[in-house]
Amino acid sequence: MRILMVCLGNICRSPTAEAALREAAAEAEVDVEVDSAGTGAWHVGNAPDERMTAAADEVGLCLAGAARQVTSEDLGDHDLVLAMDRENLRDLRALSPPDLPAGRIRLFREFDPEGPDEDVPDPYYGGARGFADVVTMTRRTARELVRRIDAGEL
């Protein structure tokens, strides 16, 4: 299964969700390919945000890669495209080709047992605690997503 994580700039939430999903899949020995991208182009080529990287490092989660902007081709090339919030979900749906299978683009926290109707909050302009909270919720959500993949529910 190929999964794409998407947030606004691809430097905070989506690279963290990407790393969390890689971690959860490796622990469960579930085969997934994971990537991330942003709906905006402001940070293309940049490494993940230093504050997000530091929060992830504190709990042993390694962020890597460089920001890139999502393309309509990405939507067709991935089995599941997970938006970090509703604004990005709307943008992804607007970008998607009309023949894209229903249910391919979804909200990431739909898989979070503690907040299935919630967005992953953007910590970029907030305090340091927000980065740690994003790490916690993405790891929890990634574990549940991997459990569902492994159970054949996706």
Q: Cα–Cα distance between 20 and 63 in angstroms, integer?
A: 9
Q: Cα–Cα distance between 148 and 111 in angstroms, integer?
A: 9
pLDDT band at 128 (very low <50, low <70, confident <90, very high): low
- Catalytic (active site) residue 85: no
The per-residue pLDDT for range 20-55, each reduced to its tens digit, is: 999 999 999 999 999 999 999 999 999 999 999 999
Domains in the chain, ordered, with CATH? 2-150 (3.40.50.2300)
The pLDDT of residue 129 is: 73
Closest residue by Cα to residue 6 from 112, 56, 101, 78: 78
The per-residue pLDDT for range 56-99, each reduced to its tens digit, is: 999 999 999 999 999 999 999 999 999 999 999 999 999 998 89
Task: Give the active site residue among 85, 109, 122, 139.
Answer: 122
- β partners of residue 5: 36, 82
CA 49 to chain centre: 15
- DSSP class per residue in the chain: -EEEEEESSSSSHHHHHHHHHHHHHHHHT---EEEEEESS-TTTTPPSPHHHHHHHHHTTPPP-S---B--HHHHHH-SEEEESSHHHHHHHHHHS-TTSPTTSEEEGGGG-TT-TT-PPP--TTS-HHHHHHHHHHHHHHHHHHHHHHHTT--
- Catalytic (active site) residue 12: no
- Catalytic (active site) residue 68: no
pLDDT band at 125 (very low <50, low <70, confident <90, very high): confident
Task: Give the active site residue among 12, 13, 51, 143.
Answer: 13
Q: Cα–Cα distance between 138 and 108 in angstroms, integer?
A: 9
The pLDDT of residue 126 is: 80
pTM: 0.96
Q: Cα–Cα distance between 52 and 122 in angstroms, integer?
A: 11
Q: Is the pLDDT of residue 127 over 80?
A: no
